[in-house]
Structure 1
Amino acid sequence: MPRPHGGSLTNNFIDLSRIDKDLFTLDVDTGLKMEIENISFGVFSPLKGFLNEEDFTSVVKRGRLSNDLPWTIPIVLDANEEVAKKVKDSSQVALRNDGQIFGVMQVEDLYKFDKTESAKSVFQTDDPSHPGFNKFVTMQDILIAGEVKTVSTTPNNKFLEDLRLTPAESRKKIEDRGWKSTVAFQTRNVPHVAHEMLQKAALNIYDGLFINPLIGKKKVGDFKDEVILNSYTVLIDNYYPKYRIIFSTLHTEMKYAGPREAIHHAIMRQNFGCSHIIIGRDHAGVGNYYSPFAAHDIFKDYPELEIEPIFFPAFYYCKKCQSYVNDRTCPHYLDYREELSGTKMRKMFSSGELPPSHLMRPEISKVILSYPRPFVE
């Protein structure tokens, strides 16, 4: 099992009774609450808090922390001028979500940043239509740096929380099962048959599979969280040897940062104890902002990562082979290919049509059709 990124897991917790009731209280939305919990639980190890100015600048420009450790996505807390003034003279602030205190932050620094230039570096575009770029440039003007600690998680949705493992818990499961190699599978979609074939191809070689769907805000048109989770539950129950699967949720938002986010995804799965991660075509991409295999190429810049990427070629269904294949295994002409299109799938479900069973398991299709509105709107 690889070491946690940076050498050790962050484990930052505080008892609710130890939080001073007189502290200035900072309200954060659910997306930011998840990021704070990811810091405390060790998902973002070695980070212990939000980036200071030196680390922020280094991450944006070089894809590394100021100590040269790989880190590609800025983890930051933004605030407006009014809130910043109130925080400035505080050594510590309470963190609140939905009226409930869930943690504290030790305030270390406040600084301004160039939103547009920073976003261009991270997302490799200045197109406001890019969802990640757009969110970044619409942040507040000031960033607050400092270490965070949380109480035990306070569920926003019990169904989602019941499937959530911390890195310490997932590492314990991997160790208890005696796996020497564990392959992570990152997803923000319901599983279709090509996903299943790819996952099982990995299981032919490695000891275990860590299926880790991303739970959090996604772009319009993506499947809703509960649709994804229920679909995978049905798939695992019917088509997988359960003793070789760990199914756990990752609570964070998609950034759609393409190659940079691929590295971020790998680092998180290394912290969960995975030795390998499947990196697909256009991993964490959106639209046509990144070349199809940019997320493969970027790993050459980070040879020191202790998790190894697995690069599978794009799979498609060949009507002549009557199976899922790729350019390495199928000699047939393009006329025989049936590509899996997310747009095509969404149109079928929107019209109440079941995809053919060679594209999606009927059990999965029925789960999706059981939701009158399965997509993010």
Structure 2
Amino acid sequence: MANIPHGNVLKDAHARDAHKNESLRIEAESLPSIVLTDRQLCDLELIMNGGFSPLEGFMNQDDYLSVVRNLRLKNGCLWSMPITLDVTEKDIKTLDLAPSKRLVLRDFRDDSTLAILTIQDIYQPDKVEEAIKVFGDNDEIHPGVNYLKNQVKEYYIGGNIEAIQAPIHYDYVAHRYTPAELRAHFKKLNWSRVVAFQTRNPMHRAHRELTVRAARIRQANVLIHPAVGLTKPGDVDHYTRVRVYQAIMPKYPNGMATLSLLPLAMRMGGPREALWHAIIRKNFGATHFIIGRDHAGPGKNSKGKDFYGPYEAQELVAKYKDELKIEVVPFQMMTYIPDSDEYMAIDEVPEGTQTLNISGTELRRRLRAGAHIPEWFSYPEVVKVLRDTFPPKSKQGFTLFLTGYYNSGKDPISRALQVVLNQQGGRSVSLLLGEIVRHELSSELGFSRKDRDINIARIGFVSAELTKAGAAVIAAPIAPYAEARNHARSLVEAYGGFYLIHVNTPLEYCIQTDRKGIYKKAQSGEIKGFTGVDDPYEKPTDADIVVDLSKQNVNEICHQIVLLLEKDGYIGER
């Protein structure tokens, strides 16, 4: 039997660790530091807690090149994904970084000191080679390639890490285990065979059936181990997904499954990613790992073809199964058989048998429309969580963004829309007139191109936040530049509807009906940088509605806008 340390021995070990950490904190105060990005933070956490074992830091050039070209570290250990710390040339010069120097790594969320890195080398990667070797393609439609080309900085720093403190999490703390904690948890439960399930999506009945079948075949327990760091852009947020996982856990037989969150920044690297995931799950104590169809695949490339074959991931991991020391459980897609009220692997379904399935696209459509989602597809508890996050359009927020010349009629149209939408009810209505925003939010700004863009960005930000909260927003700046309008659209559309309304009242009409005489002052040079006089207006080519106050009255224009909102489901029956 192994010797069990005496309590005083453990106390001494904890005291030594505390003393070392305090020494590192003191040293860190005099060292240069960088603030980590969210992806770097995910990578650092898994380096420090052993999830990325055998890595002890960010890869130096020899390890990086060996992994990119050979799927192995320089010492021969199997590893498939580059784990690198990217910095700018400015960082290197400003912080005077060089081999043997020490660098503090800080958390972007609270600026806390997490670790000290001893620099081994600084090198410039060949990003094209990395994209082609790691992701199999240089196509920027691939999210991993896109991130590499557009967000990863020019240089990589390699070096080992000395941990000071782990990143602090405030969400779902009870479900966050380090590898050592999770292995100890399995030991406490007397679990000797554990099949891990990787997911970045909400789980439904098919996923539950798949994991139960895997456990039954392998006589194992189930670890639901979702990635809650960075996943594919556009994925369901991890807060919603974890609520779904919590709702589905009681659907497993008592004692069969447990839930643990993995702070992993996915790369969507298909076969290489599957191999990486298997290594990580081995570190967390799993003995088996489920690899399904197109594991960690990002979909189609710019030519409309899948980046990876449906079973490439299974084939690559199977190639290294003896070395991995974790058994792969390959699975095909599960499909529902209505006649027997059960799920089957699609390759086991007898020919001619009726099957049912709901795609992710169709599920999102039903959620947006408030349409029925059958219990054979998902549990009512799961559907409720998803409906809370993805309410139908009748309960979502939206922004009406009116653009046009000064005195084009934007303001009276906006005020009338505010009345109409308040009368409709069901949402709060916020009015952001150009002059009000200039006075309340942008009083320090002038009318240069840069200042105008900042003003529109502020309107876009406020509109997005209100839209996210379910409000109806009516914004009516001049917004003369297409790029700024597009930026506002992108901010709002992350949370709800955005309608660009071009109030295309002719400039001559705007000038003729200007009772305040603002255009005369601009034409005489008393006011500089005035849109339509000595500053340009880029007419929208992507407007959802084009109206003209010289030909229509405010009532007609408001009715036209209301009809569009009704057609798209934002107003009407609730």
The TM-score normalised by the length of structure 1 is: 0.91
- Asked if structure 2 preserves the Cα contact closer than 8 Å seen for 1:354 and 1:365, the reply is no
In structure 2, the residue matched to 1:167 is 179
- Asked if structure 1 preserves the Cα contact closer than 8 Å seen for 2:113 and 2:165, the reply is no
Q: Please, which of 78, 81, 84 is the counterpart of residue 76 of structure 1?
A: 84
In structure 2, the residue matched to 1:188 is 200
In structure 2, the residue matched to 1:3 is none
Report the Cα offset of residue 62 of structure 1: 1.1
Q: Please, which of 216, 220, 235 is the counterpart of residue 222 of structure 1?
A: 235
Matched, 1:360 2:378: yes
In structure 1, the residue matched to 2:413 is none
Q: Please, which of 79, 82, 88 is the counterpart of residue 98 of structure 2?
A: 88
Q: Please, which of 67, 71, 76 is the counterpart of residue 63 of structure 1?
A: 71
In structure 2, the residue matched to 1:5 is none
Q: Deviations over 1:111-158 (max 9, x none)?
A: 111011111100001111110011112321111000113333232x41
In structure 1, the residue matched to 2:156 is 143
Report the Cα offset of residue 328 of structure 1: 4.4
Report the Cα offset of residue 242 of structure 1: 4.4
* SS in structure 2 at match of 1:337: coil
Matched, 1:248 2:254: no
Identify unmatched segments of 5+ residues in structure 1.
1-11
Counterpart amino acid of residue 367 in structure 2:
F
- Asked if structure 2 preserves the Cα contact closer than 8 Å seen for 1:320 and 1:332, the reply is no
In structure 2, the residue matched to 1:22 is 30
Change (3 A) 1:291 1:16: farther
Counterpart amino acid of residue 336 in structure 2:
Y
Counterpart amino acid of residue 25 in structure 1:
S
In structure 2, the residue matched to 1:269 is 281
Q: After the TM superposition, which of the residue ranges 104-113 and 238-247 deviates more from structure 2?
A: 238-247
Q: Percent identity?
A: 33
CA distance in 1, matches of 2:372, 2:263: 30
In structure 2, the residue matched to 1:284 is 296
* SS in structure 1 at match of 2:285: coil
Report the Cα offset of residue 90 of structure 1: 6.0
- Asked if structure 2 preserves the Cα contact closer than 8 Å seen for 1:95 and 1:101, the reply is yes
Identify unmatched segments of 5+ residues in structure 2.
1-16, 300-305, 392-467, 469-492, 496-574
* SS in structure 2 at match of 1:140: coil
- Asked if structure 1 preserves the Cα contact closer than 8 Å seen for 2:208 and 2:252, the reply is no
Larger relative contact order (CA 8 Å, sep ≥ 6): 1
Q: Please, which of 376, 380, 387 is the counterpart of residue 369 of structure 1?
A: 387
Change (3 A) 1:137 1:111: same
- Asked if structure 2 preserves the Cα contact closer than 8 Å seen for 1:220 and 1:376, the reply is no
Q: Deviations over 1:250-305 (max 9, x none)?
A: 00112110000000000000000111000000000011110000111102331311
Change (3 A) 1:300 1:219: closer
Change (3 A) 1:313 1:218: closer
Q: Greater helix share, 1 or 2?
A: 2
Change (3 A) 1:245 1:151: farther
* SS in structure 2 at match of 1:26: strand
- Asked if structure 1 preserves the Cα contact closer than 8 Å seen for 2:143 and 2:232, the reply is yes
Change (3 A) 1:65 1:370: same
Report the Cα offset of residue 44 of structure 1: 0.1
Matched, 1:132 2:138: no
- Asked if structure 1 preserves the Cα contact closer than 8 Å seen for 2:201 and 2:235, the reply is yes
- Asked if structure 2 preserves the Cα contact closer than 8 Å seen for 1:222 and 1:376, the reply is no
Change (3 A) 1:228 1:242: farther
CA distance in 2, matches of 1:80, 1:361: 48
The TM-score normalised by the length of structure 2 is: 0.61
- Asked if structure 2 preserves the Cα contact closer than 8 Å seen for 1:184 and 1:211, the reply is yes
* SS in structure 2 at match of 1:154: coil
- Asked if structure 2 preserves the Cα contact closer than 8 Å seen for 1:223 and 1:376, the reply is no
Report the Cα offset of residue 210 of structure 1: 1.0
Matched positions, count: 363
Q: Which runs of 4+ in 1 moved over 4 A?
A: 372-377
In structure 2, the residue matched to 1:40 is 48
Report the Cα offset of residue 18 of structure 1: 2.4
Report the Cα offset of residue 184 of structure 1: 0.4
Report the Cα offset of residue 344 of structure 1: 1.3
Q: Please, which of 124, 135, 145 is the counterpart of residue 123 of structure 1?
A: 135
